[in-house]
Amino acid sequence: MSIIRSVITGVGSYLPARRMSNDDITKIVDTTDDWIVERTGIHARHIAADDEKTSDLAIHAARAAIAHSGIDVQSIDTIIMATTTPDNTFPATAVTVQAALGLHHGAAFDVQAVCSGFVYALTIADTFIRCGQSKTVLVIGAETFSRLLDWTDRTTCVLFGDGAGAVIVQGSEGEGTNADRGILTAHLHSDGRYKDKLYVDGGPSSTGTTGHVRMEGREVFRHAVVNIADTIRESLEATGMTIDDVDWFVPHQANKRILDGTAKRIGLPPEKVVITVGEHGNTSAASVPLALDGAVRDGRVKKGDVVLLEAMGGGFTWGSVMVRW
Ligand code: UT7
């Protein structure tokens, strides 16, 4: 049976030039390199320059993904941008990217699902493509998360960083089997009962301020390992695959211990897990495409490989996308 599949044809990413090491952070809050590395696996994060906005990071990543795919930029008919740190409360940062790319057609909008934002945006792109709404979608995850941090709170400020990643997704005919290239299955979840476990204490309609990140780290950690393992299992069930069929696991990069715990829980060998959190910390919606770009460009992810993307974050929100590259 012939069906439309959403194929990722290009990937790109961008990290701001300023690198802040754990030693740099010890000059700001009472912490140590040893504590941060042992509890999180993070060695450094990148911080946007004062005049660099989320849209600037996104445009760099988008241009890299467009160049990688080789498409004519004018063929993009939809831009879906996942971010928790928009340039302005409105308009959507996606329209700033659209204008910078010289596009005056199609649709551009933002998606807000915090660290799960890229998985949400990619799933929306897949749905739009399969139902005929879009043909070529630019999906971006971009954040200047450093601007939401309370730089006096050592329990959160050591964890996050800024960055952007992007993919080009295009419709292509498939046979409807797991041998098809493209997105094979996608699953999204949220559970608002846990909205106060990880949140920002401000907003346009509550305080009129931007606010700062607040988190019950242990609670988030506990839920993350369970929810991520569950959504991986549902991906496998939906496709009839086993964990041995997965070539690469490209998770949201929040904490190396969460990734190790999840891999153990689902029986995935550590060498199949792409881990980049050490170099850029938790970049929220940017982290999955940043990790994906690294693994594609260094030759680990090859055509035909089965790649499992997942994320979990504030809300709680979580989800997974399984792709044959
Ligand atoms: O994208 C999804 C969003 N976030 C996450 O996935 C994060 C999930 N949670 C985590 O990654 C971990 O819970 C953390 C890394 C945030 C914390 O690790 P933990 O092993 O859960 O530590 P803890 O919160 O239980 O704190 C242990 C101790 C505490 O001291 P006491 O009360 O035992 O004396 C903290 O005050 O570590 C202390 N602590 C620190 N010490 C040095 C907390 N932050 C720091 C710090 N440096 N930066």
Residues 24-61 have pLDDT tens digits of 999 999 999 999 999 999 999 999 999 999 999 999 99
CA gap 111, 296 in Å, rounded: 25
Among 141, 174, 207, identify where a domain stops: 174
pLDDT in tens, 228-274: 999 999 999 999 999 999 999 999 999 999 999 889 989 999 999 99
Ligand 1 centre to CA of 28 (Å) is 17
CA gap 5, 45 in Å, rounded: 35
Helix or strand or coil: residue 205?
coil
Give pTM, 2 decimals.
Answer: 0.97
Ligand 1 centre to CA of 156 (Å) is 8
Residue 170: pLDDT over 90 = yes
CA-nearest of 232, 230, 270, 274 to 253 is 274
Report the residue among 21, 30, 214, 255 best suited for mutation to probe ligand 1: largest number of ligand atoms under 8 A from its CB.
255
Residue 221 Cβ inside 6 Å of ligand 1? The answer reads yes
Residues 243 and 311 in one domain: yes
Query: Rounded to an integer, what is the distance from CA 91 to the centroid of its chain?
Result: 21
Range of the domain at 59: 3-174
Residue 200 Cβ inside 6 Å of ligand 1? The answer reads no
Residues 145 and 193 in one domain: no
Looking at residue 270, its amino acid is P
Residues 29 and 157 in one domain: yes
Among 174, 193, 211, identify where a domain stops: 174
Residues 57 and 169 in one domain: yes
Residue 155 Cβ inside 6 Å of ligand 1? The answer reads yes
Residues 254 and 205 in one domain: yes
Residue 9 Cβ inside 6 Å of ligand 1? The answer reads no
The pLDDT-based confidence of 1 (bands split at 50, 70, 90) is confident
pLDDT in tens, 277-319: 999 999 999 999 999 999 999 999 999 999 999 999 999 999 9
Based on the structure, what is the number of domains in the chain?
2
Residue 254 Cβ inside 6 Å of ligand 1? The answer reads yes
Residues 233 and 267 in one domain: yes
Residue 86: pLDDT over 90 = yes
Residue 219 Cβ inside 6 Å of ligand 1? The answer reads no
Residues 147 and 294 in one domain: no
Ligand 1 centre to CA of 213 (Å) is 14
CA gap 309, 291 in Å, rounded: 10
CA-nearest of 119, 179, 187 to 325 is 179
Average pLDDT, the chain: 97
**Residue of minimum CA distance from atom 11 in ligand 1:** 255
Residue 255 Cβ inside 6 Å of ligand 1? The answer reads yes
Residue 244 belongs to domain with CATH number = 3.40.47.10
Ligand 1 centre to CA of 217 (Å) is 6
Residues 28 and 126 in one domain: yes
Catalytic residue list: 115, 252, 282
Among 158, 174, 190, identify where a domain stops: 174
**Which residue spans within the chain are E strands per DSSP?**
3-14, 18-21, 44-47, 78-82, 107-111, 136-144, 162-174, 182-190, 198-200, 213-215, 248-251, 306-313, 317-324
Residue 105 Cβ inside 6 Å of ligand 1? The answer reads no
Residues 150 and 279 in one domain: no
CA gap 43, 278 in Å, rounded: 5
Q: What is the percent of the chain with per-residue pLDDT over 70, rounded to a whole number?
A: 100
Residues 193 and 150 in one domain: no
Report the residue among 32, 221, 287, 312 best suited for mutation to probe ligand 1: largest number of ligand atoms under 8 A from its CB.
221
Residues 25 and 100 in one domain: yes
Residues 159 and 203 in one domain: no
Ligand 1 centre to CA of 220 (Å) is 11
The pLDDT-based confidence of 172 (bands split at 50, 70, 90) is very high
